[in-house]
Chains A and B, each alone.
Chain A
């Protein structure tokens, strides 16, 4: 009983770092593209996840259908939990480790969150952005029971950067602001730059 760490966690940490790097590559690539497309002094719209209260307007007020706002995942904050309450509804009653839960056992009404077993009781959760409508329901579940690693962002490969963002006008939390096109995301945790 003197072993402080086990092999599982080391492997999970590696996986976690790998996943985080992949996520950052995606965001960084978009940022570079945007900066070129928009010019280095240009600004784009983004929402601050620390202010967002998941009112639902991000899903319904965007000029695009589905909304340009999607949920994104800060893997470095995630607990890789078997019972992720951003994935399962709060009344979910687990019988055992379930590998492929039925649609009715999922919190997301559009089944936009994919769950993949990593090892032991650890699962990785990724977002299918074509299915996500940015309703923020999973953000509430993760924030309430978990570490708040799921949060909303407008995705700049979709957003058309309206003069006046229709969501920003409707946002009850004043969570939207313009950010430099070179840093178009307001992330959570260690990835946050501004």
Chain B
């Protein structure tokens, strides 16, 4: 296979025909407040989702299983998921929620299967799941809505986003990335990727506010649909990941950029679908599907 330089030389096209992200991949080093502290190989071909349990274990879902790692990155347990998992969450009580394409399945902390909730139909495509004390939220990219479940697995509400009286608006999901996460004070954060913003709702689905700007600049969300994943920090700040120009950043709850965790240069070109989690120590865990690894980032020492 020819190197990029060889291909460039051989094709004889002028510079206007070259596609070059070099400049956009550069980030002011002064904004990068985090550094990678550890890297844990998942041992999976297709790791897709990550979550941190209250006991500190890091759970990675992918292929057809869930694998648990201790805080130091040692694999300590695993269990089979009957259907390929798309996303994973752990409730405060330790119940593990795995989103397959069209249904949620639950497991106890030891990996024993508890239940499979009602399938959502052919159109459903679950891409994210978040669990609170008494509520579970699953993002359905196929149905363009977030489903609120009670603990028994009954759908309580379908949240379709901010829709005006003419039916316009709602969640725009051009590609299969649609994320949901829970913040402090019962804030339900949902990504509206086609609008390049994140939106805050009550658990009942009442729209509260939104922020985010389409821009290739570091403070914005680049491309047709971003961010692809979010995670909440203890103080309510949001961690975001983008595709196209892969980068991980932290925003204050107001939407102001606080830090760059990992600039595009930290990722191989073409990296997409970086799922995120934050552990009790404030480490930001990035599931890198290209490296098939969990990459842990900590704040740089001043």
The chain A residues found within 8 Å of chain B, CB to CB, are 1-9, 53-57, 59-60, 79-85, 90-94, 107, 109, 120-121, 135, 137, 140-141, 144-147, 170, 172-173
Contacts and interface: CB of A to CB of B under 8 A. Distances in A.
A92 B216 contact: yes
A141 B19 contact: yes
A4 B19 contact: no
B19 A137 contact: yes
B170 A6 contact: yes
A4 B143 contact: yes
A3 B222 contact: no
A129 B21 CA distance: 26
Given A55-B2, A85-B244, A6 B194 contact: no
7 contacts: A1-B160, A57-B7, A59-B17, A60-B11, A84-B224, A144-B244, A172-B10
Contacts of B222: 90, 145
Contact of A93 (B157, B174, B217): B217
Contact of A121 (B2, B160, B163, B194): B194
Given A90-B24, A137-B18, A146-B175, A2 B223 contact: no
Interface of B: 1-2, 6-8, 10-14, 16-19, 21, 23-24, 143-145, 157-160, 163, 166-170, 172, 174-175, 194-196, 204-207, 214-217, 222-225, 243-245, 269-270
Contacts of B172: 121
A5 B11 CA distance: 46
A60 B24 contact: no
Given A7-B167, A135-B13, A172-B6, A140 B19 contact: yes
A3 B163 contact: yes
A91 B158 contact: no
A79 B205 contact: no
Contacts of A83: 196, 214, 223-224
A107 B16 CA distance: 9
Contact of B223 (A5, A8, A109, A146): A146
Given A60-B11, A109-B16, A147-B174, A81 B224 contact: yes
Nearest to B147: A4
Contact of A4 (B10, B16, B158, B214): B158
A80 B23 CA distance: 27
B150 to A, nearest CB: 15
Contact of B13 (A3, A56, A91, A147): A56
